Chain A
Amino acid sequence: MALSYAWRLVSRNLRRTLTYLFGLALAVGLFSGVLFFVDASASQMTRIALAPVKLDLVAHATTPSVDVVKVAQSIAAQRGIKAAQPVYTTDFTSAGKPGGSQMSHAGRMFAMNPSYFQTFDIVQLSAGRFSAGGAVVSEGIINALSLKLGDTIQISFSGISRTVQLPITGITNVASADALFASTSGAENTLITDVVLVDASWFNANLGPSLAAFAASQPGGTNGLITYDPAIHIKIDRSLLPADPTRAALQTEALRRQVERASSGQLKATDNLSAAFTTVKSDVLSAKILFIFLGLPGVALAAYLSKFAAELFAEAQRRELSLLRTRGATPRQITAIVAISSLMLAILGSAFGLVIGVLSLFVAAGAQGTAALNPLAAQFDWQLLGSSALISFIAGLALTFLAAFLPTFGALRREIAQERRTVQRVPAQPFWKRAYLDLISLVAAAIILFVTQQNGGFKPAANESAAIALSFYIFLAPFFAWLGLTLLVLRLLEWVLTRSGGPVALIFRRLFGDIGEVAGKSIARRARQVGAATTVIALTLSFGISLTLFQQTYSHEKQLDSQYVVGSDIRFTPALNSAQTPAFASKLQLAGVKGVTAVARDPQALVGSEQNTVYGIDVPSFRQVAYLPDSFFIDGAAQRTIDAMTNHTSDYALGNASQALNALNSTPNGVIISVEQAQKYNIRVGDTVLMQLYSATTRKYVNVQAIAVGMFIYFPTSSQDSDFILNRSFMLGQAGTTAVDYFLLKTDGQAHVTALADQLAAQYQQVMPVVIQTTTTVIKTEESSLTSLNLAGLSAMEQLYTVLVASIGLTVFLLAMINERRREFGAMRALGATLGHLRRFIFAEAVTIGGVSLLLGGLIGILLAQMLVLLLGVIFTIPANGLAWPGLELLLLAGVVILGMLGSALLSARRLTGLRVVEALREL
């Protein structure tokens, strides 16, 4: 009986059921949408973090006698392994031209099969090819020994008396081949610039046995040099890795053990993916927290809306169930009916919500344009969403229990327990008001902000610190601020509305005629309901606006960070063996290029006893090309800066780019220094700075005396090492060279950057090996996966919800108010009010709720965005200088919201057209 009646209760009141289902589905939809987005983004983050790892596992033989060719074959056949290649490593003591006097430093030789280059994308040949009878030599050796393709190179080894001579068949750039240098100890890889690659068969025929014998005779090693290291480079099948970085890390670890197990005791494997997994694990956690906190207000609002939708019909449902009670249904039966009907609604609403969640993901994917987030894409991994779907479904059930079951059940229990009272009871103040929860939340937010600031949470990332860690608790600040502001706005709005009946009535009479006066009084005396409606919509808007602003600021910051790292829009770096002079800049002056500047770089310069990177710039062209905001510079001569440096605070006197660059330009031996290094070396403006520049020509250090003429916090071209900036002409002159290291290009618009980079790549492909970096490629490779997050998708999703919740929210509130006051409207009609009167009445309410919501929503939105930017600015190198305003997007959002509200008002007013006076007056 309970089941059939519950079904009738649900199915025969379609309007009621659909309204509730829609409210619930909206809440579950947003919740699941955010979770789905987090899942999909997390999987992308894992993918992004793993992308730069070019060599997954390296298994080193524990003894020289291990047959790595055979073991590699058996490993390659293992489950989860895609490929395995034997690689032999040995360090050579020197290399040079046969008979020549100039020799290179000690370097490393790798021997591999020709198929290695197809299997692994580690070694890039900048010229020539890998040949069985020849050697591929690194740009470092080529440059240092003035070698070229076709020359012969002679190499000496420790422990064997004879040297080997090989023709140079190829040139390679090993700058990004650090995976080759992975050590068995797991310590940081040392990048060796002097490298020779040879064929494994040649190696085994000519060097392998002798080196193996020598290595066997020297178990303790030879002065840290690798004598003979047979190893296996392994590529795992990444498609089999779970998207979750934690589980993927476990699986990789299991594969590493599996590899070691293949030849027990003979191999020691190193997992190159683990570091990436560690980083991405913390980034994923931060991203999850970020997304959930960004999405939480929307979910709370949607949940409130669903509760409101449930309450809309609670009274009607209560009446029906009371009738059932009077006809003999027991309290147990009624409870069962309420429970079953609630469960039906919960299941239907949650299922509907999950569909909306997937659709939201589709909206997000539309903005992001990547298949990983697009549920309609063929390669979309539906398994990703499994646990989130389950969580959302359970949340839907819980929400229904709280929003639909408990209120109806409570009302029924009260009804059963006592007669309805005719005298209206004055409702008590809600708990949050009595407990001043609004003020407590705001104080909590302020305390968190204060503590974060005291702990240095808002300080920009120092140049040398690459890792960024976000604490969970800092996200509580915007949450508490949002909660506190919500409740405070509600309290203040009620207060203002209650006291502004007269003025509101007066204004409304002017706007809406005489009936406006009544509407004004109605609004003032229904302050609690109007205040609640206004607050909910205002907060929905604030949520949408803050996220739009935050997203824009985030994208802007990402762009600035990448410009800072690249130095300008494009960086053109010729290979070491084809270094160019500053005059080459004129060749890069293509159509669409506004300016080019050549930059010299010495990564081996010494300041004191420490190695530092010194840059040389041509001030006039550099200032036209490089990204140089004034905020990068400080006034190094100001007493305030000196005090700050002495006290190790960051309260520097502000400077500007022009001042620092002018000083450098007018002082040939001037140097501008990062305040960090100035502090470290105790340098003040005017001090003489002694440094040693490394001359690539003479391969010797040259003493240089420079004068500190300015200071900066950041300097474009590198986020890591741009600490000492000299005049280029001075630097090159002192080092005795004319070669520069790279060129910065300023384009006439961001839109042209990629096209110009492609054009340059095509143009120089056959001419010289070059590396071309743009702001876009830097965002993809150099930033942490946290800063590479695409918030546009989440923002698109949230904007859709802002429009939906604001419009539907207003409709629901207006319809609820009409529903609640059908008798009032009936009485008005009976007393002679025309439909026009009633429409103007409703419109006045809609304008109040909508207008005040827009105003408050905008203000709170800006406040929240400021707070989010302040809190999350830490993940960017350059702190945000205020909010970035997406004018058009905000206007569009406001326009759509206003249209939605207008539609709501018209829809609600239309409801009045069908008002039957007699029926309205007859209602209980």
Chain B
Amino acid sequence: MLSITTKPSPAGAVAHAASSDVMLQTSDLSRIYRVGRNTVTALDGVDLSIRRGEFVAIMGPSGCGKSTLLNLLGGLDRPSRGSVQLDGHNLSAKDDEAMAALRRRTLGFIFQRHDLFPFLTARENVEFPLLLAGICSTDRRLQSDLMLAQVGLSDRADYLPDELSGGQQQRVGIARALINHPSVLLADEPTGNLDSATASDVLDAMTVLVRQAGLTLVMVTHSAEDASRADRIVRLRDGRIVDDGGDNNGS
């Protein structure tokens, strides 16, 4: 069961999840950017709760604040107003270094342009979060090989990103995001740079793994088809949630 609240809620519907089930919760979340002499409100008072294990797709036109919301949920950016609670921790209260540690332990990120490190092989890219966590090299190698096998890239472990196709690169990105067993996976248009067939494959791989691990997945996408795989679709416009989407599975 999911619950989305906006303030003021265009739909007027307010739902609350049981607090123990809530993995991510925002309250009056706002982000205002200063551009020259003007200010731009990217997010404006968003209240959103996402349950543990829920797959939420965030949709909306360009510039509506989807990525801003995702960045705030992942602690990559700081809100101008309001707060984000991640598994009960208030992200605003944490400094940059504590946030980095939290991201390392709890969050996984998948980027639209993969953002693999070009100087590391597929395996080394996947290992990177484990290395930051101080895991020994033998364990790192074992786990990363396993993860690469899960995304179907065992035979590409020693390839550099430049030597992989776009789809393969994104699979490496998914493996890297999942290697540290995060509670929440944040994906920013993970198929945005892929053709439809590849996108479908990548998304299949990602959802299977996420469902198997029971992770919470928040995915920003433009694609209605991709979003249709989610438990819930949240629609944004002009920095506000215009549609909580209800339960996608039930719709």
Contacts and interface: CB of A to CB of B under 8 A. Distances in A.
A525 interface: yes
A834 B100 contact: yes
Interface in B115-142: 115, 117-120, 124, 128-129, 131-134
Interface in A793-837: 823-824, 826-837
Interface string B162-177: 1000000000000010
Interface string A497-518: 0000000000000000011011
A514 B131 contact: yes
A921 interface: yes
B106 to A, nearest CB: 9
B77 A830 contact: no
Contact of A518 (B76, B77, B120): B120
Interface in B99-119: 100-101, 103-105, 107, 109, 111, 115, 117-119
A522 interface: yes
A826 B77 CA distance: 12
Size category of the binding interface on chain A: 20 to 34
Interface string A841-864: 000000000000000000000000
Nearest to A924: B113
A524 B119 CA distance: 8
A514 to B, nearest CB: 5
B105 A521 contact: no
A837 B119 contact: no
A824 B117 contact: yes
Contacts of A835: 96-97, 100
B27 interface: no
Interface in B67-104: 71, 74, 76-77, 96-97, 100-101, 103-104
Contacts of A834: 97, 100-101
Interface residues of B, number: 30
A613 to B, nearest CB: 74
Contacts of B132: 514-515, 831-833, 837
B124 A521 contact: yes
Interface in B149-166: 160, 162
Contacts of A832: 100-101, 103-105, 107, 129, 132-133, 180
A448 interface: no
B105 A514 contact: no
A424 interface: yes
Nearest to B121: A521
Given A424-B162, A829-B100, A918-B77, A517 B131 contact: yes
Contacts of A521: 119-120, 124
B131 A830 contact: no
Contacts of A831: 103-104, 109, 128-129, 132, 176
A2 to B, nearest CB: 24
Contacts of A319: none
Interface in A218-262: none
Interface in A599-627: none
A700 interface: no
A166 interface: no
Contacts of B96: 835
Contacts of A833: 100, 104, 132
A526 B160 CA distance: 13
28 contacts: A514-B132, A515-B132, A518-B128, A521-B119, A525-B119, A526-B119, A823-B115, A826-B115, A827-B111, A827-B115, A827-B117, A830-B76, A830-B109, A830-B111, A830-B115, A831-B129, A831-B176, A832-B100, A832-B107, A832-B129, A832-B133, A835-B100, A837-B132, A917-B71, A917-B76, A917-B77, A921-B76, A921-B115
